[in-house]
């Protein structure tokens, strides 16, 4: 289902960009994805806004929270009790970076760091249910944990969200794990590539569906993005990985047509 009005607990429901230059990021994603940025006027919102595609909310954008912090795409997992998730994080070897807090009447959020070092957020919906469009061009379609410690991540996320890891051998000594929530595949996990600098912690990668991978990568490159993976085949479709001009990593994928 591409259009969404809500999410089950344990399912990624929202993504947003923390940017070192919000105006530049608005221009970049506006040109690459055709998004419109609707910024919230209230100073209490801290410069936050939302990207829309054809009038549907697809992602958020705001400034980084502190000096020296890098630009990054953030993943939010739906919950019906952010406080309970925060307790499970603490009891599972993680750290609550931001305790649950209400965001106007939109909902409540919390931010934590997992036992493997990865950062993730949870969203308890109020008026804002999450992304209104997913799994089709210029909306997010997959969330994938690149981790330096698969065992620690498996124990942690299984405990916090009740996810079930389903791991398959990809050949060449590589494994890939799909996270299942109530029997449905909702996210992925793989060991972090040794090509990443040692200073980069485990992280959640956001995948955005696109209609034309080659054209999207070419456009992003022309606008100053650093292309890390130009195009690679994968079972769901051809994908690429890039750093936007502000340094945030994301993946773009041209999904195969359903058989």
Determine the 3-state secondary structure of 165 from DSSP.
Answer: strand
User: What would the pLDDT profile of 112-150 be if each residue is shown by its tens digit?
Assistant: 999 999 999 999 999 999 999 999 999 999 999 999 999
Report the residue count for the chain.
259
pLDDT at site 203? 97
Question: By C-alpha distance, which of 77, 79, 102 is closest to 206?
Answer: 77
| Fold observed for domain 1-259 | 2,3-Dihydroxybiphenyl 1,2-Dioxygenase; domain 1 (3.10.180)
State yes or no: pLDDT of 1 exceeds 70.
Answer: no
Quickly list H helices, 95-184.
150-161
Contacts of 28 (CB under 8 A, 6+ apart): 220, 223, 224, 225, 244, 245, 246
* Rounded Cα gap, residues 59 and 206, in angstroms: 11
For 46-68, write each residue's pLDDT tens digit: 889 999 999 999 999 999 988 88
Q: Which pLDDT score is estimated for 258?
A: 67
pLDDT of 246 = 97
pLDDT value at position 171?
A: 75
- State pLDDT tens for residues 228-241: 999 999 989 999 99
């Amino acid at each position: 289902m591409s259009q969404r009005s809500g999410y089950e607990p344990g399912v990624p429901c929202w993504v947003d960009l923390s940017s070192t230059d919000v105006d530049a990021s608005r221009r970049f994603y506006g040109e690459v994805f055709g998004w419109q940025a609707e910024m919230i006027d209230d100073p209490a919102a801290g410069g936050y806004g939302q990207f829309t595609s054809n009038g549907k909310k697809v992602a958020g954008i705001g400034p980084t929270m502190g000096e020296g912090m890098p630009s990054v795409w953030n993943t939010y997992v739906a919950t019906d009790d952010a406080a309970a998730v925060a307790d499970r994080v603490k009891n599972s070897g993680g750290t609550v970076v931001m305790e649950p807090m209400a965001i106007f009447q939109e909902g409540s959020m919390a931010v934590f760091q997992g036992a493997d070092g990865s950062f993730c957020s949870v969203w308890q919906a109020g008026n804002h249910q999450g992304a209104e469009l997913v799994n089709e061009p210029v909306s997010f379609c997959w969330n994938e944990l690149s981790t330096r410690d698969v065992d620690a991540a498996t124990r942690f996320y299984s405990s916090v969200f009740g996810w079930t890891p389903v791991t398959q051998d990809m050949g060449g000594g590589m494994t890939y794990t799909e996270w299942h929530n109530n029997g449905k595949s909702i996210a992925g996990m793989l060991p972090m590539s040794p090509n990443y600098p040692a200073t980069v912690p485990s992280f959640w990668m956001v995948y955005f569906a696109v209609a034309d991978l080659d054209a999207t990568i070419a456009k992003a490159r022309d606008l100053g993005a650093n292309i890390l993976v130009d195009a690679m085949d994968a079972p769901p479709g051809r994908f690429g990985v890039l750093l936007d001009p502000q340094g945030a990593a994301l993946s773009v994928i041209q999904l195969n047509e359903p058989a």
